[in-house]
């Protein structure tokens, strides 16, 4: 039996997808994870750690974002490809951690830190590249606005999680995988202008939905689950932010 036979693909996958992401999980599960598994098999019996893969993903992500600033179609394609490579490696770090029982809280947060830096850099750099390509400075504004709204979207998500006292990590992997595929597709078709408009529109809508959702969480007097004003609601089963009772954490990608 070869060394790579010790890698268990099923064990390396997340135990359950993020609640509320069931339809999006297929992009990650059938497109990204099989390729990520090849990476994990290649490094499984080496000294490369899950955090090492996280750093590699970070490098590819920043390099991909930088390519967009060149403002040329060929570089847009390179940027999209490197961003997608970063996304796949981002999934491989968590798979390696689960397969080798090396999951850690620090690794989870390192992954989140680097993801947010890549996301911000990507939006801004795509705006810079689009402004140069179309000779239109409004894309600088749209890139900055998109970056800010996207980070606000993520912030509101985690603030809501904190209020509901949900400690499960690895929540945004499925939607982020879809986002990175969208970046590659719009880059290949040379339509960064459409991506910019759609990106701003999507983040505005999602932020409004998150705001309404949180307002609806306000405790009501006489609620048997929330007898005191200001006491957090118990998350309900089926809530997109509510993992099932007893569901283990899913650190990293």
Task: Tell me what pLDDT residue 30 has.
Answer: 75
Task: Tell me what pLDDT residue 246 has.
Answer: 39
> Which portions of the chain are predicted below pLDDT 50?
1-4, 17, 227-233, 237-238, 242-251
| Domain definitions of the chain by residue range | 3-215
Q: Give the per-residue SS3 of 50-80.
A: HHHHHHHHHHHHHHHHHHHCCCCHHHHHHHH
Task: Tell me what pLDDT residue 32 has.
Answer: 83
Task: Tell me what pLDDT residue 87 has.
Answer: 93
Task: Tell me what pLDDT residue 24 has.
Answer: 61
| pLDDT tens digits, 175-186 | 888 889 999 999
CATH code at 3-215: 1.20.120.1760
d(CA 58, CA 18): 23
Q: Which of 144, 94, 92, 84 is nearest to 252 (CA)?
A: 94
d(CA 45, CA 178): 30
Task: Tell me what pLDDT residue 111 has.
Answer: 92
Single pTM value for the model: 0.78
Task: Tell me what pLDDT residue 14 has.
Answer: 59
**Are the beta carbons of 186 and 68 closer than 8 angstroms?**
no
């Amino acid at each position: 039996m070869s060394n790579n036979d010790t890698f268990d693909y099923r064990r390396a996958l997340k135990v359950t997808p993020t609640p509320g992401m069931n339809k999006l999980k297929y992009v990650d599960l059938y497109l990204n994870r099989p390729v990520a598994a090849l990476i994990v098999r290649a490094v499984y019996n080496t000294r490369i750690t899950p955090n090492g893969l996280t750093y590699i993903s970070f490098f590819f992500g920043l390099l991909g974002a930088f390519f967009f600033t060149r403002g040329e179609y060929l570089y847009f394609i390179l940027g999209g490809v490197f961003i997608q490579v970063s996304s796949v490696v981002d999934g491989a770090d968590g798979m390696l951690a689960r397969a080798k029982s090396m999951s850690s809280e620090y690794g989870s947060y390192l992954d989140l830190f680097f993801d947010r830096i890549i996301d911000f850099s990507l939006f801004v750099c795509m705006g810079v590249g689009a402004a140069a390509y179309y000779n239109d400075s409004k894309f600088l504004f749209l890139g900055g606005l998109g970056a800010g709204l996207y980070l606000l979207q993520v912030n509101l998500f985690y603030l809501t999680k904190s209020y509901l006292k949900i400690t499960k990590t690895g929540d945004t992997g499925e939607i982020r995988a879809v986002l990175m595929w969208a970046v590659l597709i719009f880059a290949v078709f040379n339509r960064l202008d459409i991506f910019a408009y759609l990106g701003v529109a999507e983040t505005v809508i999602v932020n409004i939905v998150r705001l309404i959702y949180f307002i609806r969480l306000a405790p009501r007097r006489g609620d048997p689950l929330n007898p005191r004003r200001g006491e957090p609601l118990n998350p309900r089963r089926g809530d997109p932010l509510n993992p099932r009772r007893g569901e283990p954490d899913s650190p990293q990608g």
